[in-house]
């Protein structure tokens, strides 16, 4: 959990961790030089420790940029699997248990679940354009990127530490789409394990559209990099996939509202 000047939503996220039916996990909380909200961080740590969930609080040697901090925080994890969680994100009580069960499959490197998006005006639940519970890299490319970004954000993804390290983590040079690139790259390298159940909630504030020029450029660069990777590894990159994804998204288009 990377944090900086958190508000009370951190306590909400902590409560969702305490509610887990499977408690065999720990939390790494990385504080990127908080100047206000230290008492909230202390309360969060106390409540999780009291519930028997170990919390390790870490701090980088200097203040980092947002995406740099994400990478640094991930690097502090010691477990075989990583689960990013941001302030305000909530996990349903069976999240850890369901993900742990799927992580026992030898081929599992990346796990995605369905999730709920809440805004001040309502909520919606994601869905994928298929019913398979596992996708190979080739099968993943049958649905991505031409069918829109149904992957989601860090909220509903978990992955092996080694997979995160091999892909190079979040791309700091693509700050608007760093999580998009990471998850798409993980899936095209390792495939996906899919849990067709809503196990998490992301709470979004009202904000302007993210579909600006910079983000479009970053997406285009990501698709070109993925296309090159697919060609080298003889994977079936879909024709016109980037055009369809950027200019005619369909299905769940998470990045448009994140």
DSSP letter at 192? E
Residues of the chain with pLDDT under 70: 205-212, 240-258
| Residue in the block written with tokens 């993943």 | 140
Instruction: State the pLDDT at residue 205.
Output: 65
Q: Residue 243 has what pLDDT?
A: 64
Q: CA–CA separation, 27 vs 13, rounded Å? A: 12
- What is the model's pTM? 0.90
Instruction: Give 15-64 pLDDT, tens digit per residue.
Output: 999 999 999 999 999 999 999 999 999 999 999 999 999 999 999 999 99
- Whether the upstream peptide bond of residue 145 has omega within 30° of 0, thus cis, is yes
∠ CA 213-89-196, rounded to 5°:
90
CATH 3.40.250.10 fits 2-256, yes or no: no
CA atoms within 13 A on the CB side of 201: 18
Domain chopping of the chain, boundaries:
2-256
Query: In the prediction, which pLDDT does 219 show?
Result: 85
**Nearest alpha carbon to residue 87 among 2, 161, 188:** 2
């Amino acid at each position: 959990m990377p944090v900086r000047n958190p508000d009370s939503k951190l306590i909400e996220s902590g409560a969702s961790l305490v509610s887990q039916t499977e408690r065999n996990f720990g939390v790494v909380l990385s504080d990127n030089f908080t100047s206000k909200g230290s008492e909230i961080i202390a309360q969060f740590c106390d409540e999780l420790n009291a519930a028997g969930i170990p919390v390790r609080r870490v701090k980088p040697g200097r203040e980092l940029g947002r995406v740099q901090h994400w990478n640094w925080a991930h690097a502090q994890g010691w477990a075989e699997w990583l689960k990013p969680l941001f302030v305000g994100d909530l996990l349903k009580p069976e999240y850890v248990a369901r993900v742990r069960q799927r992580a026992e499959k030898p081929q599992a490197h990346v796990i995605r679940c369905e999730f709920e998006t809440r805004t001040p005006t309502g909520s919606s639940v994601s869905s994928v354009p298929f019913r398979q519970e596992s996708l190979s890299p080739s099968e993943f490319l049958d649905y991505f990127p031409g069918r829109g970004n149904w992957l989601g954000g860090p909220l509903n993804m978990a992955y092996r530490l080694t997979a995160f390290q091999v892909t190079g983590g979040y791309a700091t040079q693509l700050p608007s789409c760093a999580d998009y690139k990471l998850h798409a790259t993980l899936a095209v390298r390792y495939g996906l394990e899919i849990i067709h159940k809503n196990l998490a909630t992301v709470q979004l504030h009202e904000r302007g559209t993210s579909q600006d020029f910079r983000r479009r450029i970053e997406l285009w660069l990501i698709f070109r990099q993925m296309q090159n990777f697919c060609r080298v590894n003889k994977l079936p990159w879909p024709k016109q996939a980037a055009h369809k994804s950027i200019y005619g998204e369909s299905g769940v288009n998470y990045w448009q509202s994140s």
